[in-house]
Amino acid sequence: MSLLSIGRSVGNWWQGDLAYRFRRSPVAILAALVGLALLVAAMGAPVLAPYDAFDPAAANAADARLPPGVEGMFGDVYLLGTDPQGRDMLSAMLYGLRTSLVVGLASVAAAALAGVLLGLMAGYFGGVLDAFIMRAADVQLSFPAILIALLIDGVARTAMPQELHAELAVPILVAAIAASFWVQYARTVRGLVLVERGRDYVLAAKVTGVSTPRILLTHILPNVLGSVLVIATINLALAILTESTLSFLGVGLPSTQPSLGSLVRIGNEFVFSGDWWISALPGLLLVLLSLSVNIFGDWLRDALNPKLAS
């Protein structure tokens, strides 16, 4: 695809109804700008961070628990202070933000892929397959998402050596969170497919001999992606909070891989010692990230709903 065609596509989208509603919503614009700024900061952590938070040599124990703006023993100025390990808080927060976003985005993508595929099959084929998938979804809905993630992570810790689990901590965490969120996609897509499979364009495709996979992927799927996008946007904040909760409980990522939840957990032990910045600053960043994603997701849900967008 050429740059000219991409530019035309972007221009056509910008003149569309969704972009018009976006331009008319200052709250959505602010949420999108904040989310985009945090995403750029997270992805640019290796460039923007003054120190490498993954390098133990970058931490100086002599500068541990320094308040924001205080100069260290060797002349280093820590803009947001240091943690109990002597790590620069700004660097740790940027790398922790990147970790939380990567885990959140990957888990939402995995949950959406699994849920959409299962929902398409359940809604289109029906019968025993539909009953099996929906009963499995009902069983999972009876358990809190955090409990399912804790169970999967606990099984992985028991079945794997400690060194292997530490290396695969991020994929395991992504799988645990994704396994907690696929049900929403499957149930939503199934309901939409039950409506779409009886429409004229689907019946016409069947009559002309179009294969079932092609009907599902090229005819029905595009008509359910709007709802999937809304769920994914809202679930992103939930996935980030779930990862932070697991890390806060000490069962998420290892301490050598900073995340916003683990930073809050470390600082929580020193709150009453007056070292408020160790937990307060990562906590505020987590709130800002979750709030911006939630606000944008709420706006997107309303904008894509014809009854609410009028």
Number of H helices, E strands in the chain: 15, 0
Per-residue pLDDT at 3: 56
In the chain the beta strands, taken as DSSP E runs, fall at: none
| 247: pLDDT strictly greater than 90 | no
Cα–Cα distance, 8 to 166 (Å, whole number): 46
**Each residue of 269-304: pLDDT tens digit?**
887 788 888 989 999 999 999 999 999 988 888 887
Range among 83-87, 161-165, 271-275 rated most confident? 83-87
Question: CA nearest 225: which of 82, 78, 108, 116?
Answer: 116
Per-residue pLDDT at 12: 66
Handedness of CA 216, 219, 220, 221 (dihedral sign): positive
Per-residue pLDDT at 309: 46
The half-sphere exposure of 118 on its side-chain side, counting CA atoms within 13 A, is 22
- The model scores a pTM over 0.75: yes
Q: Residue for token digits 């009559």?
A: 207
In which band, very low, low, confident or very high, does the pLDDT at 125 lie, cut at 50, 70 and 90? very high
Q: Which residue has the higher pLDDT, 237 or 143?
A: 237
Q: Which residue has the higher pLDDT, 187 or 247?
A: 187
> What's the distance, CA 156 to chain centroid?
21
Domains of the chain: 17-304 (1.10.3720.10)
